[in-house]
Structure 1
Amino acid sequence: MGTEFQELVRHTRIQEIVGDVIRLYATDVALGDMAEVENTDGERSLARVISLDRDQASLQVFAGGKGLSTDATVKFLGKPLDVVYSPNILGRIFRGSGEPMDGGPDLNADPHVKVAGPTVNPVMRVMPSRMIETRVPMIDLFNCLVESQKIPIFSIAGEPHNELLARIGFQADADILVFGGLGLIFDDYHFFRTAFEEHGVFGRTVMFVNQASDPLVERLLVPDMALAVAEKFAVEENKRVLVLLSDMTAYADAMKEIGVSQERIPAVRGYMGDLYTQLAQRYEKACDFKGAGSVTILTVTTMPGDDVTHPVPDNTGYITEGQFYLHGGIIDPFGSLSRLKQHVIGKATREDHSQIMNTMIRFYSEAVEAQRKQAMAFELSQFDEKLLKFGKLFRKRFMDIRVSMGVTDALDLCWKTLAECFEPAELLMKQNLVDKYFPSTATSTEVETSPEQQN
């Protein structure tokens, strides 16, 4: 963010300090405007107008309200938040304030772009039609990620959602990665940075990171900064941009905490009544631009207590086009959904994709039922035994999030797996596809390679 402060009216009487929020009387101030707060000891901090009530303005102080005096001076800058945008930001890491945190050169002289702008004009949107190959079989085969899609990973604490998000990031078929970390502990921040560096994508990645110890207001700014930069790359550079955000529940919790400090009346479970609006304003930045590139948004949304009716995942489900449901360390095929997959299955992928997807899920569902029969000591039929074998192979070859393979290889492995477990007549698939893709010879041995060896 630029550091050139305009010489505007200085306000010297702060009416109230509540946590990190200060209130004072001011005129000619707009919502979202930036300000500089200078304490009596000469220490300066940036602040942002987060609420206006007639002539009373509430500002969130980036450095926090601790040690701040009511005699501090507030100077409004007359402009909203902006963030640096140029090719120089690739391979760089920024704080939630927009300042570099990687020790690299200062970029204030580079062009800046305003954040939190309006969503794109609908006439400039085109129908999603291109697939983003992630090399994660449970996504590419069964719930394809489509360019311009907005989709969360629903998870709970302790699940490897960050591992999955990073893996999609460095394996995905995208031109630019924009990562936004929201309330990350240092270990998670280090994990993402190391993963992008080790897999050779850091040079086309820009990271905006708010750690758990950083100010809450910066946590709220990270998605806006990431999306503003992503939109610029897509529109001006014709890039296919993948935006990764983790964790949107931490983002919503920050909104709740700031709302409480503003003495706003909460709605469900303490969250503010505009939670849906605030989330939608960010998710709707996903777009396939007419005559330009695209912005695809993939987020992590943790569900407290594994409760999908919690306000954050509940509101998210109304906004996004499906979800990847991470449960027990795997992407659950029954809880996951991509509402845009029909735009690419069999069009951007091979002709047998749709039939394979439906057949594999059908057999796996029956395999789960066969497992229940086995657990309850019911007599198993010969076909049940085939289903149990199929279920074991399916989990081993496809469901582990560490498995990495292209969509064509995954389709071939599906046919191989079916051939090892069933006769062609048992598949109930289109005969022309069975004749074309069913292996003429199939071994009954299981795959011995580990997921990492398939990478």
Structure 2
Amino acid sequence: MSLSVITYDRILSIIGEVVRVALPPQVRMDPNGPRYGDLAVVREGEGEARLAQVVKLDPGEASLQVFGGAQGLSTRACVQFLGHPPRVAFSGNIMGRVFTGAGAVADGGPPLSQEPQVEIGGPSANPARRALASRMIRTDVPMIDVFNSLVESQKIPIFSTAGEPHNTLLARIGVQADADVVVFGGLGLTFDDYWRFRATFEDAGVFARTVMFVNQAADPPLERLLVPDMALAVAEKFAIEEKKRVLVLLTDMTAFADALKEVGVAMERVPSNRGYLGDLYSQLARRYEKAAVFHGAGSVTILSVTTMPGGDVTHPVPDNTGYITEGQFYLRDGFIDPFGSLSRLKQHVIGKETREDHSAVMNTMIRFYAGARDAERKQAMAFELSDYDLRLLRYGALFKTRFMDITTSIPLEAALDLGWKTMAECFSPEELLVRQNLIDTYYPAQAA
């Protein structure tokens, strides 16, 4: 008997957005009965059908998470299981389209109900079948390209706080990155933020290679649990079947973790650190580990935003994220912090895929900027400054203006040339402590 034609009308309880329904004996023994992650429809009388998902199975009962919220439902409601986990449309026709957090068309365009469907939330690729990361994804953001290169198959977050321009940075990377496809997943965005992302992609002429899944702040919070899975399922299909280089942009994964906590509270699960559940690490890792380079196919790279409540990096979400991902970009005071940021895969491309002077420029410029910060502290404490200190201060001001501004857009080679020019304006060749052959080739002749 098909599960979809059986009506389950014995509701045991409704707590928050979680509905517990009793399963009859014949279904309890059926190996094809409801499974964890399957979808269901909850309806009361002639009311609107609400989509739900199985989040827990116990002997004789199933717990369902209602994405539209359980407000207005009573124990007289009925449940029908659909017999499959959530699915999302996948074909070339989804390019340039916007979907809700539940996968429905949200841009007023034609429906895609006849398009092939792909199940979301599947396992990540076997690590033994992945290719080694060896290609750089250029973003034209100098603080990334020069100092912490983004590499194909990398999973890396932007650690930020409220009020920082992380959405501006993420949109700029989506526009400028040399990826074939950009899949955007927005979690809990205000309408203004959503529209700013969309307008940025459209104005830059890249919307045709972009797919957007957006859960807005006014939408059911629990739909935020589906957005990363839908975005990553589509990205994986583009990478494997279409052999595309796919960049997945996710904002904000702290909102995703908060939705997980909300479900756990409704299910009366024992909380762990600061109210988050003990499986937070596993839930985040399931999504981030989708990043991969596939042999003979394309790749999936994940760049996410993780907001730190109160700027606390020990908060459970950024803390767990740091153990999963391969570095991080710290956004502080409107700048990408050159000291807190780190890309653990940059050594795979620097000097191999990029210019021979890349490593020297990166290390030397950061060394001088660290000296400039020390000189600023000496100046603040009214110490006497040497001529070298004054040149460090001048260099620090130039570095912040030319490189750290997140609105700056410079191709990598031009950024390296600008690095040499900036250092030459403040320091002699001997003070750079760089190999002579690089100085002979790249140090500006007019400054020598």
TM-score (norm 1): 0.95
Structure 2 match to 1:391 = 396
What is the total number of aligned residue pairs between the two structures?
Answer: 439
Task: Choose which of 67, 77, 80 in structure 2 pairs with 1:62.
Answer: 67
Structure 2 match to 1:352 = 357
Whole-Å Cα distance in 1 between the matches of residues 447 and 389 of structure 2? 20
AA matched with 2:69: G
Task: Choose which of 2, 12, 19 in structure 2 pairs with 1:15.
Answer: 12
Whole-Å Cα distance in 1 between the matches of residues 222 and 162 of structure 2? 23
1:39 deviation in Å?
1.2
Deviations 1:385-413, CA, capped at 9 Å, x for gaps: 11011001000100000000000000000
Counterpart secondary structure, 1:242 = strand
1:216 deviation in Å?
2.3
1:41 deviation in Å?
2.9
AA matched with 1:216: P
Whole-Å Cα distance in 1 between the matches of residues 60 and 320 of structure 2? 33
1:6 deviation in Å?
6.5
Structure 2 match to 1:113 = 118
Counterpart secondary structure, 1:441 = helix
Query: CA separation of 1:116/1:272 partners in 2, compared to 1, >3 Å: closer, same or farther?
Result: same
Structure 2 match to 1:314 = 319
Structure 2 match to 1:451 = none
Counterpart secondary structure, 1:225 = helix
Whole-Å Cα distance in 2 between the matches of residues 298 and 341 of structure 1? 15
Does residue 441 in structure 1 map to residue 438 in structure 2? no
Counterpart secondary structure, 1:154 = strand
The answer to whether the 8 A contact 1:175-1:204 is kept is yes
1:349 deviation in Å?
0.5
Counterpart secondary structure, 2:369 = helix
AA matched with 1:72: A
Whole-Å Cα distance in 2 between the matches of residues 441 and 389 of structure 1? 19
AA matched with 2:386: S
Does residue 45 in structure 1 map to residue 56 in structure 2? no
Counterpart secondary structure, 2:446 = coil
Structure 2 match to 1:341 = 346
Deviations 1:244-278, CA, capped at 9 Å, x for gaps: 00000000001001110110000000000000000
1:96 deviation in Å?
1.2
Whole-Å Cα distance in 1 between the matches of residues 285 and 96 of structure 2? 29
Whole-Å Cα distance in 1 between the matches of residues 388 and 369 of structure 2? 13
Whole-Å Cα distance in 1 between the matches of residues 18 and 399 of structure 2? 53
The answer to whether the 8 A contact 1:151-1:297 is kept is yes
AA matched with 1:56: E
Whole-Å Cα distance in 2 between the matches of residues 364 and 193 of structure 1? 36
Structure 1 match to 2:412 = 407
Structure 2 match to 1:172 = 177
Q: Tell me, which stretches of 5 or more residues in structure 2 are unaligned?
A: none
Counterpart secondary structure, 2:5 = coil
AA matched with 1:8: V
Whole-Å Cα distance in 2 between the matches of residues 36 and 263 of structure 1? 23
Structure 2 match to 1:181 = 186
TM-score (norm 2): 0.97
AA matched with 1:32: G
139-148 or 9-18, which deviates more: 9-18
Structure 2 match to 1:194 = 199
Deviations 1:133-173, CA, capped at 9 Å, x for gaps: 00000000000000000000000000000000000000001
Task: Choose which of 127, 130, 151 in structure 1 pairs with 2:132.
Answer: 127
Deviations 1:370-428, CA, capped at 9 Å, x for gaps: 01111111111111111011001000100000000000000000000111101111111
Counterpart secondary structure, 1:334 = coil
Counterpart secondary structure, 1:78 = coil
1:40 deviation in Å?
1.5
Whole-Å Cα distance in 2 between the matches of residues 168 and 354 of structure 1? 22
The answer to whether the 8 A contact 1:147-1:288 is kept is yes
Deviations 1:180-208, CA, capped at 9 Å, x for gaps: 00011111111111111111110000000
AA matched with 1:131: M
1:42 deviation in Å?
3.3
The answer to whether the 8 A contact 2:4-2:83 is kept is no
Does residue 256 in structure 1 map to residue 261 in structure 2? yes
Q: Tell me, which stretches of 5 or more residues in structure 1 are unaligned?
A: 444-455
The answer to whether the 8 A contact 1:40-1:69 is kept is no
Percent identical across equivalent pairs? Answer: 67
Task: Choose which of 330, 333, 350 in structure 1 pairs with 2:335.
Answer: 330
